[in-house]
Amino acid sequence: MTDSITLDSTDTHGHSDHDDHAHPTEKQYWIVFVILAVITAVEIAWSYMGLEGPALVVPLIIMMVVKFLMIAGVFMHLSFDSKMPNGRTFYLCFGAAMVLAILVFLVVLAAFEFQI
Amino acid sequence: MAVIEEPLALPSGTTKARRPLGAFSRPRNATGLVDWLTTVDHKKIGIMYGMAAMFFFIIGGVAALLIRLQLAAPNSTILSADTYNRVFTMHGTIMVFLVVMPIGAAFANYLLPLQIGARDVAFPRINAFSFWVFLAGGLMLNSSWFLGGGANGGWFNYAPNNGAAFSPSTGIDFWNLGLFIAGIGSLSGAVNLITTVLNMRAPGMTLMRMPVFVWMTLVTQFLLLFAIPVLTAAQLLLLLDRQFGANFFNVTQGADPLLWQHLFWIFGHPEVYLMILPAFGIVSEVIPTFSRKPIFGYPFMVFSGIAIGFMGWGVWAHHMFVSGIGPLSVTAFSVATMFIAVPTGVKILNWLATMWGGKLILNTAMLFSIGLVTQFTIGGLSGVTHAVAPSDTQQTDTYYIVAHFHYVLFGGALFGFFAGLYFWWPKIFGYKLNEKIGKWNFWGMVLGFNLTFGPMHILGLQGMARRMQTYDVSMGFNLWNLVSTIGSFILGVTTLLLFVNAWKSYSEWKAAGRPNVGADPWDARTIEWSIQSPAPEHNFDVTPTVSDLDDFWHQKYAEDDEGKLRQVATGDELAQPGNGEGVHLPAPSYWPIVLAFSLPIVGYGLIYSLWFCIPGTLLTIISIYGWALEPADDLDIDDHGHGPDQEMEPAV
Amino acid sequence: MRNGLSHMGKKFGSDMKILQSKPQLKLGLWLVGFLGLAAACADESKPLNTFDSDGEGQGPKATEIEGLITPIFAIAGVVFVLVIGGAILLTIKNRVKPEDYDPEDLPTQTHGNFSLEIMWTIAPAILLAVISVFMVQTIWDLETKNAEGELDVMVIGQQWWWEYRYDVDGDGFYQDANGDGVVDEKDAELPLTLALDPDDVVTANELVIPVGQQVDLEITSRDVIHSFWIPALNGKRDAVPGRVHTWSVEADEAGKYTGWCTEYCGLSHARMRMSAIALTPEDFETWIANQAEPAEVPEEDTKEWRGRETFAANCSSCHIVDEGDFNYDDYDPELITKAAPNLTHFATRSAFAGSIYEIYLGDKDGDGQDDTDANDNELDVSDYLILPQEASQEAESSADYRANSAQLKRWIQNAPSQKAMAPDEQRGMPAFPGLSDEQLDELVAYLATLD
Amino acid sequence: MTAIPVEDAVEVADDHGSDHHDDGHHTSLGLSNMKLAMWLFLGSECLLFGALISTYLLSKARFLTEVLAGNPEVLGTLPANLIEEFQAEGSVEPLFDIPFTSASSFILLMSSVTMVFAHQAISKNDQRNTRLWLATTAALGSVFIAGQVYEFTTFYNEGLRFDGNLLGSALYTLTGFHGVHVTVGIIMLLSLLVLAFRGKLNQDRAETLELVGLYWHFVDVVWVLIFTIVYLIP
- Measured CA to CA, the distance from residue B103 to residue B54 in angstroms comes to 8
Distance of CA C218 to the CA centre of its chain: 15
pLDDT at residue number C340: 86
Q: Give chain B's residues under pLDDT 50.
A: 1-17, 22, 635-652
Query: DSSP states of B351-378 as a string?
Result: HHHHHTT--B---HHHHHHHHHHHHHHH
Q: Do B111 and B537 form a contact (C-beta atoms < 8 A)?
A: no
Residue D94 located in a structural domain: yes
Domain range annotation of chain A: 23-81, 86-116
**What whole-number distance in Å separates Cα of residue B279 and Cα of residue C344?**
59
Q: How far is CA D167 from CA B254, B260, C379, D74, D234, in A?
A: 10, 17, 54, 10, 11
Would you say residue A3 has pLDDT above 70?
no
Chain A interface disruption, residue of D221, D227, D229, most A CBs within 10 A: D221
User: Domain residues for D206?
Assistant: 33-232
Q: What is the pLDDT of residue B99?
A: 96
B198 touching chain A per CB within 8 A: yes
- Which residues numbered 15-44 in D keep a CB inside 8 Å of some CB on A? 17, 19-20, 23, 25-32, 35-36, 39-40, 42-44
Taking Cα atoms as reference points, which of B373, B364, B394, B363 lies closest to residue B276? B373
Residue C163 φ/ψ, nearest 5 degrees: -115, 145
Helix axes B415-429, B364-387, angle to 10 degrees: 150
State the DSSP code for C24: G
What mean pLDDT do residues C52-58 have? 65
| CB B287, CB B351: distance < 8 Å | yes
Most A CBs within 10 A among B209, B216, B311, B325, hence the mutation to make, goes to: B325
Contact A5 B258 (CB under 8 A): no
Beta carbons of B254 and D191 less than 8 Å apart = no
pLDDT bracket for residue A14 (50, 70, 90): very low
Judge whether B495 and B462 are in contact, CB under 8 Å: no
- What angle in degrees, to the nearest 10, is found between the helix axes of B435-461 and B399-408? 150
In a domain, D2, yes or no: no
Q: Do B346 and C117 touch (CB under 8 A)?
A: yes
Which positions in chain A touch D50 (Cβ < 8 Å)? Answer: 101-102, 104-105
Say whether residue D175 is in contact with chain A using an 8 A CB cutoff: no
Checking C179-182 for CB contacts under 8 A at 24+ apart, the result is C179/C328, C179/C329
Position D147 in a domain? yes
Of D16, D65, D73, the CB nearest to B649: D16
Min Cα distance C186 → chain D (Å) is: 8
**Residues B458, C9 contacting (CB under 8 angstroms):** yes
Q: Do A14 and D221 touch (CB under 8 A)?
A: no
Per DSSP, the residues of D195-214 read HHHTT---GGGHHHHHHHHH
Answer whether B294 touches C (CB < 8 Å). Answer: yes
Q: C162: which strand partners?
A: C157
Chain B CB within 8 Å of residue C132 CB? yes
The CATH code of the domain that includes D146 is 1.20.120.80
Taking only the tens of pLDDT, chain D with its 234 residues reads: 333 332 222 233 333 333 333 333 567 877 888 989 999 999 999 999 999 999 999 999 999 999 998 888 899 999 999 999 999 988 898 899 999 999 999 999 999 999 999 999 998 888 999 999 999 999 999 999 999 999 999 999 999 999 999 999 999 999 999 999 999 999 999 999 998 998 888 887 888 999 999 999 999 999 999 999 999 887
> Which residues of chain B from 218 to 277 reach within 8 Å of chain A, CB to CB?
219, 222, 225-226, 256, 258-259, 262, 266
Q: Kindly tell me the sign of the dihedral angle through the C-alpha atoms of C416, C419, C422, C427.
A: negative
The answer for residues whose C-beta is within 8 angstroms of residue C181's C-beta and 6 or more apart is none
Give the three-class secondary structure for C324. coil
Q: DSSP class of residue D55?
A: H
**Pairing between β-strand C237-239 and β-strand C226-228 as defined by DSSP bridges:** antiparallel
Residue B590 DSSP one-character state: S
Distance set, CA B88 to CA B51, B467, B523 (Å): 23, 7, 43
The answer for residues whose C-beta is within 8 angstroms of residue A37's C-beta and 6 or more apart is: D106, D109
Chains contacting A (3+ CB pairs below 8 angstroms): B, D
What residues in D contact A94, CB-CB < 8 Å?
A: 39, 42-43, 46
Q: Is D146 on the interface with A (CB under 8 A)?
A: no
Question: Residue A76, SS3?
Answer: coil
DSSP string, C44-78: ---TT-S--TT-TT--HHHHHHHHHHHHHHHHHHH
Give Cα C342 to chain centroid, integer Å: 19
Q: What is the pLDDT of residue C370?
A: 54
Q: Nearest-CA residue of chain A relative to D40?
A: A93
Nearest CB partner across the interface for B582, out of D6, D43, D205: D6
Residues with Cβ within 8 Å of C354's Cβ and at least 6 positions away in sequence, in order, are C160, C161, C162, C205, C268, C271, C272, C273, C419
Burial class from Cβ neighbours inside 10 Å (0-12, 13-18, 19+) for residue C148 reads exposed
- Rounded Cα–Cα distance for residues B304 and B310 (Å): 10
What is the enclosing helix (H) or strand (E) of B558? strand B557-559
Residue in chain A nearest B321 by alpha carbon: A116
pLDDT of residue B587: 84
Yes or no, beta carbons of A115 and B258 under 8 Å apart: no
Kindly list the residues from chain C whose CB atom is less than 8 angstroms away from the CB atom of residue D70: 189
Kindly determine whether residue B195 and residue D33, on different chains, have CB atoms separated by under 8 Å: yes
How far away is chain C from the Cα of B107, in angstroms, using its nearest Cα? 26
Q: Which residues contact C123 (CB under 8 A, 6 or more apart)?
A: none
**Does D155 reside within a domain?**
yes
Q: How confident is the model at residue C4, as a pLDDT?
A: 41
Beta-carbon neighbour count of residue D206 at 10 Å?
24
Tell me if D141 is assigned to some domain.
Answer: yes
CA distance A38 to chain B (A): 32
Give the distance from CA C173 to its chain's centroid.
Answer: 24
The alpha carbon of residue B611 is apart from the nearest alpha carbon of chain C, in Å, by 28
Which residues of chain D make contact with C191, given a CB cutoff of 8 A? Answer: 71, 73
Residue numbers of D between 83 and 142 with CB closer than 8 Å to A: 98-99, 102, 105-106, 109-110, 112-113, 115-117, 120, 123
Half-sphere exposure of C302 (CA within 13 A, CB side): 13
Provide DSSP, B614-625.
HHHHHHHHHHHH
Rounded CA gap, C368 and C376, in Å? 17
User: Is the model's pLDDT at C427 over the cut of 60?
Assistant: yes
Question: Best interface-test mutation with C: which of B250, B475, B550 has the largest number of C CBs within 10 A?
Answer: B475
As a whole number of angstroms, the distance between CA B236 and CA B249 comes to 12
Asked if pLDDT for residue C18 goes beyond 50, the answer is: no
Tell me whether residue D24 is in a domain.
no
Q: For residue A69, what is the nearest residue in chain D, using CA coordinates?
A: D221
Do the domain assignments include residue D15? no
Q: Going by C-beta distance under 8 Å and a sequence separation of 6 or more, which residues neighbour residue B350?
A: B295, B296, B297, B300, B301, B304, C112, C117
Measured in angstroms, the CA of B199 and the nearest CA of chain A are apart by 9
Between B and C, how many residue pairs show a Cβ–Cβ distance under 8 A?
331
For residue B234, CA distances in Å to B133, B467, C168, C318 come to 20, 23, 42, 35
Which H or E run includes C216? strand C215-221
Domains of chain C: 3-142 (no CATH), 150-451 (2.60.40.420)
**In 3D, which of D59, C34, D55, C105 has the Cα closest to residue B479?**
C34
Cβ of B225 within 8 Å of Cβ of D43? The answer is: yes
Position C303 confidence tier, pLDDT thresholds 50, 70, 90: confident
- Burial classification of residue B565, based on how many CB atoms lie within 10 Å of its CB (0-12 exposed, 13-18 middle, 19 or more buried): middle
d(CA B23, CA B20): 8
The pLDDT tens digits for B72-92 are 999 999 999 999 999 999 999
Domain count for chain D, please give it.
1
C90-C94-C100 Cα angle (round to 5): 160
Question: pLDDT tens digits, residue range C123-140?
Answer: 999 999 999 999 999 999
Structural element, H or E, at residue B559: strand B557-559
CA pair distance C244, C143, nearest whole angstrom: 14
Q: What are phi and psi of B283, to 5 degrees?
A: -70, -25
C201-250 per-position pLDDT tens digit: 889 888 999 998 999 999 999 889 999 999 999 999 999 998 999 999 99
What's the burial of A87, exposed, middle or buried (CB within 10 Å: 0-12/13-18/19+)? buried
Mean pLDDT over the full length of chain B: 89
In this complex, is the C-beta atom of B504 within 8 Å of any C-beta atom belonging to chain D?
A: no
Cβ contact B526:B473 at 8 Å: no
Under 8 Å between Cβ of B466 and B402: yes
The verdict on A111 touching B (C-beta cutoff 8 Å) is yes
Does the beta-carbon distance from A63 to D105 stay under 8 Å?
no
